[in-house]
Amino acid sequence: MPASVPTSLTRPTTRGMKRKSEDKPQKESQVNNLTESSPAKRRKSSSSLSNEKGKEDTPEPEPEYHQDPDYFFEDGDIILKTENTVFCVHQRKLAELGGMFEQMFAMPQPANAARLMGLPYCDLVGLVSPRDVHILLSYAYDHLTLTKENKNGTDVFRSLHWEGATALLSVSHKYNLANLRLLCLEALELLFPKSADACSSRPIITGITSKTERALFRRRFPFQAIKLFYECDVPALLPSAYYHAAQLSIEDIVNGIPLLDGSKEVVPQNEVVKIMKGRESLKTARRTILYRWLSDKVGHGQGSRGCAKCPRLAIKGADTCYMFLMRMFFDFHRAGFFDSKSNALEVLSDDAMQSLSDYLCEPCWTNVQLKIKEGLWGVWEQLPLYFGWTGWSEIDIEQKRIDDGWNDDY
């Protein structure tokens, strides 16, 4: 029976739905911060600069704040405050981000609006950390690029700024920054592809400097991605995130990944069960779908033939195509190659492909390349089902519904 759709795809949600007229904020109603009653619900609001009435008596002295060393400009005209950190920046830069910031600055402000450090201020009320605000401002001031294209001779490599893309996706979701959200999703597709053809290339991860952090990233990022994509309503990237999680060790999946501060990166127990089941399904798919072409080549009683057009000649060395593939099959079988791994979206290495090219006749080599691609796409089509989802088409429909809601001006 087909797998059922997870509750995260079927539960009622306010994201991507137009607000009713009675839900719209009144023009005369303003608030002094960018906040929401629940971070889980995205909504546009008439957030504005602080408008608390000035007190008649002597104001209390302002508490001490930590000024961000990079984004506290002398000519700034707005203060952003989160926790005990303040940023002095320019309203026009924030307005260019759109969403809540654009709405906020478009509204007239009362003359007696409260001020901080002599300037209008916006209290972000704990929805985002100082780190995330710093990353947002790095993007707003063109100091951060999420993806880059790097060339090494004829080879082209893409890079992904992981911390930037993930932090900005979360911020864009909370503050309705639609254009920034799309940019983040396009960047993250480099690591979490939406097609089998894109599985063969991995981006270079930037923004992580120390070796310890880089080693930790390789274990940690799948769990981070799963939680982020649920938080930000991105079902289209979740199957790839689960696939990456299934490549972790059983200990990491079950017990979590120890972090440098002594805590652990974990996912809920129901997600652990889902990942473990998917892991076993991927191991089976590796043998029965991805590399089925090899067992078919040697197991159909073809004798000394390779493909139908094979000349049955020794192309390189003493083996015919059939004998070469037979030796490969048994070498793989003895090494546990077919059943010991769950990386069912990774084809043979470049060296192995080169050997196939060298030792097979042209018709056999062309046929093998076709069968390898068919196997890869066969696994890809089944990938959502391995983790309890419905097929790709249902996921695409749900993602479009969510994205259409973001495109609406409500």
Average pLDDT, the chain: 82
State the pairing for strand pair 85-89/66-72. parallel
Do residues 171 and 269 share a domain?
yes
**Alpha-carbon distance values, 263 to 124, 136, 266, 303, 335 (Å):** 26, 26, 9, 59, 37
* pLDDT of amino acid 306: 52
Please tell me which residue, 360 or 268, carries the higher pLDDT value: 268
Return d(Cα 347, Cα 373) in angstroms, integer. 9
Under 8 Å between Cβ of 233 and 173 = yes
Do residues 170 and 270 share a domain?
yes
Do residues 259 and 294 share a domain?
no
Q: Which helix (H) or strand (E) holds 396?
A: helix 392-407
Give the list of residues 6+ apart from residue 361 with CB closer than 8 angstroms, or none: 306, 310, 311, 313, 315, 321
Return d(Cα 358, Cα 364) in angstroms, integer. 11
- 8 part of a folded domain: no
Per-residue pLDDT reduced to its tens digit, 147-167: 998 877 777 889 999 999 999
- 160 part of a folded domain: yes
Structural domain including 314 reads 285-386
Torsional sign, CA 320, 346, 390, 388: positive
From 282, 315, 335, give the residue that closes a domain.
282
- 102 part of a folded domain: yes
- 391 part of a folded domain: no
Do residues 154 and 268 share a domain?
yes
Per-residue pLDDT reduced to its tens digit, 130-148: 999 999 999 999 999 999 9
Under 8 Å between Cβ of 170 and 231 = yes
pLDDT (mean) for 9-38? 39
Do residues 182 and 220 share a domain?
yes
Q: Which helix (H) or strand (E) holds 238?
A: helix 238-246
Instruction: Please name every residue paired with 123 in a beta bridge, in sequence order, or none if there are none.
Output: 33, 81
Q: What is the pTM of this model?
A: 0.81
Do residues 120 and 185 share a domain?
no
Do residues 242 and 187 share a domain?
yes
Can you list the alpha helix ranges (DSSP code H) found in 96-188? Answer: 99-106, 130-140, 162-174, 178-188
Residue 318 has pLDDT above 70, yes or no: no
Do residues 207 and 320 share a domain?
no
Amino acid identity, residue 138?
Answer: S
Q: Count how many domains the chain has.
A: 3
Do residues 275 and 302 share a domain?
no
